[in-house]
Amino acid sequence: MKRFALLLACLTALPVWAKPAIHWAYEGQGSPEHWGELGDEFQICKKGQYQSPIDINQVIDGKLPPLGMNFHTDTQTIVNNGHTVQVTVKDSDDFRLDNDVFVLKQFHFHAPSENHLFGKAFPLEAHFVHANKKGELAVLAVMFEVGAENSALKPLLAALPSEVDRVEVMKQRMDLAALFPTVKHYYRFSGSLTTPPCTEGVRWLILKQPVTLSAAQLAKFEHALKHANNRPLQPLNGRIIVE
Ligand SMILES: [Zn+2]
Q: How far does the centroid of ligand 1 lie from the alpha carbon of residue 14, in Å?
A: 29
Average per-residue pLDDT for the chain: 90
Task: Kindly state whether residue 55 falls inside one of the protein's structural domains.
Answer: yes
Question: What is the rounded distance in angstroms from the CA atom of residue 106 to the CA atom of residue 111?
Answer: 17
Ranking 59-63, 72-76, 162-166 by mean pLDDT, the lowest is 72-76
Positive/negative CA dihedral, 181, 215, 188, 225: negative
Q: How far is CA 193 from the centre of its chain?
A: 8
Alpha carbon of 32 to ligand 1 centroid (Å): 14
Q: Does 242 map to a domain?
A: no
Whether residue 239 is contained in a domain is answered as: no
Task: List the CATH number of the domain containing 175.
Answer: 3.10.200.10
Q: What's the rounded mean pLDDT across residues 13-27?
A: 72
Task: For residues 20 and 182, give the distance between their C-alpha atoms in angstroms, rounded to a whole number.
Answer: 43
pLDDT at 4 over 60: no
**Residue 236 belongs to a domain:** no
pLDDT at 21: 85
- In eight-state DSSP terms, residue 153 is G
What's the gap in Å between 230 CA and the centre of ligand 1? 8
Query: Which residues have C-beta under 5 Å from ligand 1, the single-atom ion?
Result: 127
Residue 194 Cα to ligand 1 middle (Å): 6
* Domain annotation covers residue 152: yes
**Mean pLDDT, range 48-69, rounded to an integer:** 96
Range of the domain at 113: 2-225
Split into its structural domains, the chain has a count of 1
Any domain includes 231:
no
Which letter does DSSP use for residue 135 in this model?
A: -
Task: Tell me what the mean pLDDT of segment 189-216 comes to.
Answer: 98
More confident residue, 28 or 171: 28
The per-residue pLDDT for range 138-161, each reduced to its tens digit, is 999 999 999 999 999 999 999 998
Q: Is residue 161 part of a domain?
A: yes
Predicted confidence band at 173 (pLDDT cuts at 50, 70, 90)? confident
What pLDDT does 18 receive?
57
Which residues are identified as catalytic?
Answer: 83
CA of 36 to the centre of ligand 1 (A): 18
For residue range 89-132, what is the model confidence (pLDDT) as tens digits? 876 678 889 999 999 999 999 999 999 999 999 999 999 999 99
Domain-embedded: residue 240: no
Cα of 195 vs centre of ligand 1, distance in Å, is: 7
For 25-89, the DSSP string reads: -SSGGGSGGGGGGS-GGGTHHHH-SS-S--EE-S-B---PPPPPEE----EEEEEE-SS-EEEEE
